[in-house]
Amino acid sequence: MQKSPLGDSWYWQVDRNFYRQPLQCNNEEFGWGFGVHAFHEMVFPLPSSARSFRTWAGLDQSVGEGGCVRWQVSVRGSEEKTLHQSPVVRGTKQVFDSGRLQLPAPDDSDTNRELVLSVDPLLMGTPPGADPLDIRDSLNWLEPELDLDPDELARELARHSLSQIPALAGWDLETNTAETVSLDNRWNEFDRNDPRYRVLLGSRGRFLSLMNTVRIAEDDQWLVLAVCRPDDKAPPSTLHIEIDGAAIAELAIPATTDARGPSPLLVPVNDYRGRTVNVRLVQFPSPEATAPKSPQEAAAFCVDWRGIGTSAHRPGLLPLLAENPDFLTELTEGEGTAEWDANEPFSTKTSLKVSPPERGVSRLAGLRVPIRAYPRLGEYRYISFAWKKDGGKQLVLGLAHNGKLGGDNFGKQRPRVRIDPTRLRKNAPARRMLESSGRGLQYGYRYHRGQSDSEIGAAMMVERKLPDGWQRVERDVFSDFGEFTLTGFSFLPFDGTAAWFDEIYLARDRADFQYLPSRRGEQKPSNDPNILLTETDPERLGLVTRTVTPAFAVTNSSYGVRLLKEYQGKTNVLQTMPRDQKTPCVLRAPVVL
């Protein structure tokens, strides 16, 4: 804050005097400081590690024997306390040392301590012969120093370390583990178009604990944790997840091996829908690893946090066929009709029944899905769908590309070709490959099953024989049509009575299709009355273990866990099933003693 009795305020300077010249007093030049003009007050927030302060101050060399001020150092918290006040300073020959000033220890009420450096122009009561008002009252704060407690500074830096990782915004370090935080800048060039340094997070102790409150929406199914090891050479680590004090899972943190990055870790949150829950995430070395004993070992265990959120579906698997009336009202293109049919389901309660010749939409509200060769989160490459036909000879599913369905150039533009460089070796025939920019136009962004017909036009042939019943199809959309943005669909029975479509999903990787409803099915209850609960998915083991060991998560139980009604006279017994005798199952909880 700066005020002048004669008009507008002036600007203070850093490492210069008020006139933007070197800091000089009494014919001596100083290395750093501030140049100000009275009246002036500088306020600095004090870190919790601040213990003492020292400064020199004097009127600038340019004032000669003029100027007249008094300066003061104080600390402002719940109340303001003066630490030092100078005598009246007149002329540049008087340079005063504040001495080492001990800062008062903060108490609970001093949540925002501030250091205040103020200069008073002494408009009243100046000595005889002094300049009137604030003329030539230019003061230099000379080489100020703030002493910090090294142990408290280390703790404070640890508490603020998460600010360097955008994915952990809003998350806090648990107090008992904050002092052991380890950060590591690691060069990542998996994406050669965008190489960069990544800030990795780890611990010099046995584990590191993160805490936050998370709102679970009514339709959320998963807590999504995008975290990975920097490469496959990094030692194994696991992530222990607790919700409202109960351990839900302990999952192995995957390694980054390509530009796409691994799939995120998923934790089921169906039981917490519509609630705000307390989430605790604990980074562990793998059960077989020992705690790091040096900064170098701690850096090896650091992991890369990419994001945390909730989702209504698996991030690697995107459902496209929405079973609701609004979906039907958006299918406005084509002369056919569309309706939900409960009599012909494939894997859900109803399927989409479409009458000839066609029904679709080029721009479905909220649908803009990138199809990419190397899909990251939110991007996809593969499609799976189920279809069947009643009568007729053809069946087609079209994909709207960038807001378009069909087009005059489909089938007429020949795709460009290039030589596969991996085959350019002696005596090896060159393999021609279609350029991605032409494949979609060549095949019309459409999949066809049945007899070829000129009325159908361009389409990618799946099979020439129509299925007698339901058939599930998996395709590599990028290999078929190249990169584009999927914005809608076209369902084309063409002839016959009708066609049915169901379970249309996009996936980042083919392995994600294992989670399709038709492939997973419903888990059948055990015929053994002694088995109360059973689970085999690693991400769901906590739904069983929390009934017996709510603070502990299980690892290395490769064949799942069971809750037994009775075992050897004990009730509610947790049964684990390790992979083999040499790899025992581990129950683990983060505890600070």
CATH code for the domain in which residue 91 is found: 2.60.120.1060
pLDDT given at position 427: 45
Domain boundaries, position 88: 13-148
Q: Which of 284, 311, 338 is the last residue of a domain?
A: 311
Q: Are 58 and 96 in contact (CB under 8 A)?
A: yes
**What is the CATH classification number for the domain harbouring 408?**
2.60.120
Give the model confidence (pLDDT) of 7-63 as tens digits: 455 688 999 998 899 999 989 999 999 999 988 999 999 988 999 999 999 999 998
Domain membership flag for residue 229: yes
Same domain, 390 and 484: yes
Give the model confidence (pLDDT) of 242-260 as tens digits: 999 999 999 999 999 988 8
**pLDDT classification of 108: cutoffs 50, 70, 90:** low
Same domain, 296 and 325: no
Q: Which pTM does this prediction carry?
A: 0.72
Q: Which of 311, 343, 374 is the last residue of a domain?
A: 311
**pLDDT classification of 3: cutoffs 50, 70, 90:** low
Q: What are phi and psi of 355, to 5 degrees?
A: -95, 155
Q: Are 287 and 238 in contact (CB under 8 A)?
A: yes
Give the model confidence (pLDDT) of 328-349 as tens digits: 889 999 999 999 999 988 988 8
As a whole number of angstroms, the distance between CA 71 and CA 80 comes to 16
Q: Are 478 and 373 in contact (CB under 8 A)?
A: yes
What is the three-class DSSP state of 382?
A: strand
As a whole number of angstroms, the distance between CA 32 and CA 25 comes to 13
pLDDT given at position 128: 77
pLDDT given at position 411: 47
Same domain, 228 and 85: no
Same domain, 330 and 364: yes
Sign of the CA dihedral running 440, 445, 447, 453: negative
Q: What are phi and psi of 423, to 5 degrees?
A: -100, 5
Q: Are 394 and 527 in contact (CB under 8 A)?
A: no
> Which residue type does 201 have?
L
Give the model confidence (pLDDT) of 482-500 as tens digits: 999 999 999 999 888 899 9
Domain membership flag for residue 584: yes
Q: Which of 148, 163, 188 is the last residue of a domain?
A: 148
Sign of the CA dihedral running 14, 16, 19, 25: positive
Same domain, 350 and 294: no
Q: Are 272 and 243 in contact (CB under 8 A)?
A: yes
Q: What are phi and psi of 242, to 5 degrees?
A: -120, 140
As a whole number of angstroms, the distance between CA 58 and CA 71 comes to 9
Domain membership flag for residue 46: yes
What is the three-class DSSP state of 435?
A: coil
Sign of the CA dihedral running 532, 538, 539, 542: positive
Same domain, 131 and 231: no
Q: Is the pLDDT of residue 273 over 60?
A: yes
Nearest to 384 by CA among 472, 443, 294: 472
pLDDT given at position 323: 64
Nearest to 486 by CA among 338, 391, 381, 354: 381
> Which residue type does 577 have?
M
Q: Is the pLDDT of residue 229 over 90?
A: yes
Number of structural domains in the chain: 4
- What is the rounded end-to-end Cα distance, in angstroms, of the chain? 49
Same domain, 498 and 535: no
Give the model confidence (pLDDT) of 417-469 as tens digits: 444 444 444 444 444 444 455 788 888 899 999 887 766 677 889 988 887 89
Domain membership flag for residue 436: yes
| Residue 165 DSSP label | -
Give the model confidence (pLDDT) of 533-559 as tens digits: 888 888 888 888 888 888 888 888 878
Same domain, 251 and 352: no
pLDDT given at position 434: 42
As a whole number of angstroms, the distance between CA 287 and CA 303 comes to 16
Same domain, 170 and 301: yes
Residue with tokens 């949150």: 269
> Which residue type does 466 have?
L
Neighbours of 120 (CB within 10 A): 20
User: CA 263, 269, 274 angle in degrees (round to 5)?
Assistant: 130
pLDDT given at position 464: 86
Q: Are 200 and 304 in contact (CB under 8 A)?
A: yes
pLDDT given at position 281: 96
Same domain, 134 and 84: yes
Domain membership flag for residue 523: no
Same domain, 250 and 360: no
Q: Are 212 and 171 in contact (CB under 8 A)?
A: yes
**pLDDT classification of 79: cutoffs 50, 70, 90:** confident
As a whole number of angstroms, the distance between CA 580 and CA 526 comes to 23
Nearest to 235 by CA among 284, 308, 183: 284
Residue 203: strand pairing partners: 181
Neighbours of 110 (CB within 10 A): 17
Q: What are phi and psi of 222, to 5 degrees?
A: -135, 140
Kind of pairing between the strands at 460-463 and 446-450: parallel
**What is the CATH classification number for the domain harbouring 159?**
2.60.120.260
Q: Are 16 and 35 in contact (CB under 8 A)?
A: yes
Give the model confidence (pLDDT) of 150-204 as tens digits: 888 877 887 788 888 999 999 988 877 777 888 899 998 888 888 889 999 988 8
DSSP H stretches of helix in 362-508: 436-443, 477-481
Could you write out the three-class secondary structure of 265-319? EEEECHHHCCEEEEEEEEEEECCCCCCCCCHHHHHHCCEEEEEEEEECCCCCEEE
Residue 142: strand pairing partners: 33, 56
Nearest to 9 by CA among 35, 43, 37: 37
| Residue 52 DSSP label | E
As a whole number of angstroms, the distance between CA 467 and CA 393 comes to 10
Domain membership flag for residue 131: yes
Instruction: Tell me the average pLDDT across 291-319.
Output: 87
As a whole number of angstroms, the distance between CA 465 and CA 481 comes to 22
Same domain, 190 and 230: yes
Long-range CB pairs of 178-186, under 8 A, 24+ apart, other chains included:
179/154, 179/155, 180/204, 180/205, 180/208, 181/208, 182/292, 182/295, 182/298, 182/299, 182/301, 182/302, 183/302, 184/299, 184/302, 186/230, 186/302, 186/304
Instruction: Tell me the average pLDDT across 131-155.
Output: 88
**Two tokens, residue 544:** 């069983």
Neighbours of 119 (CB within 10 A): 26
Domain membership flag for residue 114: yes
Domain membership flag for residue 64: yes
Q: What are phi and psi of 397, to 5 degrees?
A: -115, 120
Q: Are 235 and 300 in contact (CB under 8 A)?
A: yes
